[in-house]
Chain A
Amino acid sequence: MSLVEVKNLNKKFGKKQVLHDVNFVIDEGEILGFIGPNGAGKTTTIKLMLGLQSIGSGTVTIDGHDIVKDFEKAIEGVGAIVESPDLYMYLSGRQNLQLIANYYKGITKERIDEVIKIIGLGKRIDDKVSKYSLGMRQRLGIGAAILHNPKVLILDEPTNGLDPEGIKDVRELLIRLAKKEKMAILISSHNLSELDNFVTTACIIQNGHVVSNTSVKNLKKYDSSRYKIFLDKTKGISKYIKQEHNIISDYLIEVFIEDDDVSDLLLELLNNKYKIRQVIKEEMSLEDAFIKMTGGNTID
Chain B
Amino acid sequence: MIRLFQNELFKIFHKKGLYIIFLISILMTGLITVLNNIDLSGVIADNTNFEEQLIKEYESGNVELDEQYINAKSTMATKELIKNNDNAKKYNSPEYYFITNVIQPLYNSYYTNLYLYNDENTANMIKKQVDSKVKDLENFDWKKQINDEIEEIKTTECDNDEYCIKVNQEKLFLLNYRLENNIPYSHKDSSLSIDTYYGNYMTYLQTEKDESKYKSRDSLIEKREVEKATQTFRYKLDNKLIDDSYTDFSSQYTFVSSMGSVSIFVVVCIVLVSSSVIADEFNKGTIKQLLVRPFSRSKIIIAKLLAILTTILLFVVLVSIGQSLVSGIINHDFKTLIDPYVMYSFDSHSVIISNTLFSGLLRYACILPEIIILTLLTVLVSVLFTNNGVSTAIGIVTYAAAGILEMYVDAKPIISYIPLVNWDFSMYLFGAMPQSKYLVLSKSLYICISTAILLFIGILLFFKHKDIKNQ
CB–CB A102/B7 < 8 A: yes
Given contacts A54-B465, A89-B284, contact A102 B470 (CB under 8 A): no
A-facing residues in B1-45 (Cβ within 8 Å): 3-4, 6-7, 10-11, 14-16
Q: List, in ascending order, chain A residues with CB within 8 A of B284's CB.
A: 86, 89
Flag if A103 contacts B14 (CB, 8 Å): no
The answer to whether the Cβ of B289 comes within 8 Å of any Cβ in the partner chain is: yes
Which residues from B are CB-within-8-Å of A76?
A: 294
Q: Are B468 and A72 in contact (CB under 8 A)?
A: no
B468→A144 contact, CB < 8 A: no
A82 interface contact, C-beta 8 A? yes
Expressed in whole angstroms, the Cα–Cα distance for A265 and B349 within the complex equals 115
Contacts of B7 in A (CB 8 A): 99, 102-103
Interface-side segment among A45-53, A195-203, A222-230, A274-282: A45-53
Point out the residues of chain B lying under 8 angstroms from A50, CB to CB.
Answer: 291-292
- Contact digits for B142-159, partner A, Cβ 8 Å, 1 yes 0 no: 000000000000000000
A73 contacts across to B, CB distance below 8 A = 294
Q: Is the CB of A52 within 8 A of B291?
A: yes
Which A residues are CB-close (under 8 A) to B214?
Answer: none
Identify the closest chain B residue to A80 (Cβ): B292
B139 within 8 A of A: no
Asked whether B310 is an interface residue with its Cβ less than 8 Å from the other chain, the reply is no
Let me know if B3 and A52 touch, CB within 8 A: no
The reply to whether A91 and B293 form a contact with Cβ atoms under 8 Å apart is: no
Given the known interface contacts A44-B470, A52-B291, A52-B292, the answer about A102 and B3 at a Cβ–Cβ threshold of 8 Å is yes
Residues on A with beta carbons closer than 8 Å to the beta carbon of B295: 72, 103
For B8, the closest partner residue in chain A by CB is A99
B256-295: which have CB < 8 Å to A? 284-289, 291-295
Task: Given A53-B467, A102-B6, A103-B7, verify A86-B286 contact (CB < 8 Å).
Answer: yes
- Given A84-B471, A90-B14, A99-B7, A52:B288 Cβ within 8 A: yes
In whole angstroms, what is the CA distance A84 to B16 when docked? 25
Q: Within 8 Å CB of A44, what residues of B?
A: 470
Tell which of A47, A80, A91, A103 touches B294, judged by Cβ atoms closer than 8 Å.
A103
- Bitwise, A34-63 to B at CB < 8 A (1) or not (0) is 000000000110010011111000000000
Most chain A beta-carbon neighbours within 10 Å: one of B293, B296, B467: B293
Residues of A contacting B3 in the complex (Cβ-Cβ under 8 angstroms): 102-103
Give the complex CA separation of A269 and B289 in angstroms: 61
Alpha-carbon distance A99/B14, docked complex (angstroms): 12
Residues of A within 8 A of B4 (CB): 103
Contacts of A51 in B (CB 8 A): 291-292
Contacts A54-B465, A86-B284; A100 near B289 (Cβ below 8 A): yes
- A47-B468, A53-B468, A102-B6 known; A78-B15 Cβ under 8 A: no
Query: Which parts of A62-86 form the interface with B (CB within 8 Å)?
Result: 71-73, 75-76, 78, 80, 82-84, 86
**A240 — which chain B residues lie within 8 A by C-beta?**
none
A76 to B471, CA, bound (A): 25
Query: How many residues of chain A get a CB closer than 8 Å to chain B's CBs?
Result: 31
A88 and B293 contacting across the interface, CB-CB below 8 Å: no
**Cβ of B11: which chain A residues have Cβ within 8 Å of it?**
88, 91, 99
Q: Which of A43, A78, A89, A99 contacts B10 (CB 8 A)?
A: A99
Instruction: Find out whether the CB atom of B289 lies under 8 angstroms from the CB atom of A87.
Output: yes
Determine if B289 and A75 form an interchain contact, defined as CB atoms under 8 angstroms apart. no
Least distance between B287 CB and chain A CB atoms (Å) = 8
For A78, give the chain B residue with the smallest CB separation: B292
B291 contacts across to A, CB distance below 8 A: 50-52
Query: A187 to nearest B CB, angstroms?
Result: 16
CA gap between A88 and B283 in the complex, in Å: 12
User: Does the CB pair A47–B470 fall under 8 Å?
Assistant: yes
A160 at the interface (CB under 8 A from B): no
With a CB–CB cut-off of 8 A, which chain A residues contact B14? 88, 90-91, 95
CB < 8 Å: which of A47, A54, A89, A103 contacts B293? A103
B351 CB to nearest A CB, Å: 50
Least Cβ–Cβ distance between A78 and chain B, in angstroms:
7
Q: How far is the CA of A50 from the CA of B10 in the complex (A)?
A: 25
Give the residue name and chain of the A residue nearest to B470 (CB): A43
Q: How far is the CB of A40 from chain B (nearest CB, A)?
A: 12
Residues of B within 8 A of A88 (CB): 11, 14, 286
Q: Are A104's CB and B286's CB within 8 A?
A: no
Measured CA separation A80–B470 after assembly (Å) = 15
Mask of A98-132 contacts with B, CB within 8 angstroms, 1/0: 01101110000000000000000000000000000
Complexed CA–CA distance, A51 and B470 (Å): 13
Chain B residues positioned under 8 Å from A54 (CB to CB): 465, 467
When each residue 12-46 of chain A gets 1 if its CB lies under 8 Å from chain B and 0 otherwise, what string results? 00000000000000000000000000000001100
Enumerate B450-471 residues with CB–CB distance to A below 8 Å. 465, 467-468, 470-471
Shortest distance from the beta carbon of B243 to any chain A beta carbon, whole Å: 47
**Does B294 contact A52, Cβ atoms closer than 8 Å?**
no
CB nearest to B16 among chain A residues? A90
- Bound-state CA distance A147–B287 (Å) is 18
Could you tell me if B293 and A100 are in contact, using CB atoms closer than 8 angstroms? yes
Query: Can you spell out 28 A-B residue pairs with CB atoms less than 8 angstroms apart?
Result: A51-B292, A52-B292, A53-B468, A54-B465, A54-B467, A72-B294, A72-B295, A73-B294, A75-B293, A75-B294, A82-B468, A83-B285, A84-B471, A86-B285, A88-B286, A90-B16, A95-B10, A99-B7, A99-B11, A100-B289, A102-B7, A103-B4, A103-B7, A103-B293, A103-B294, A104-B293, A104-B294, A144-B289
Closest 7 CB pairs of A and B: A86-B285, A76-B294, A52-B468, A103-B293, A53-B467, A72-B294, A86-B286
Interface residues of A (CB under 8 A from B): 43-44, 47, 50-54, 71-73, 75-76, 78, 80, 82-84, 86-91, 95, 99-100, 102-104, 144
Query: A75-B293, A88-B11 given. 16 additional CB < 8 A pairs?
Result: A54-B467, A75-B294, A78-B292, A82-B292, A83-B288, A84-B285, A86-B284, A86-B285, A86-B287, A87-B289, A91-B14, A95-B10, A99-B10, A102-B7, A103-B4, A103-B295
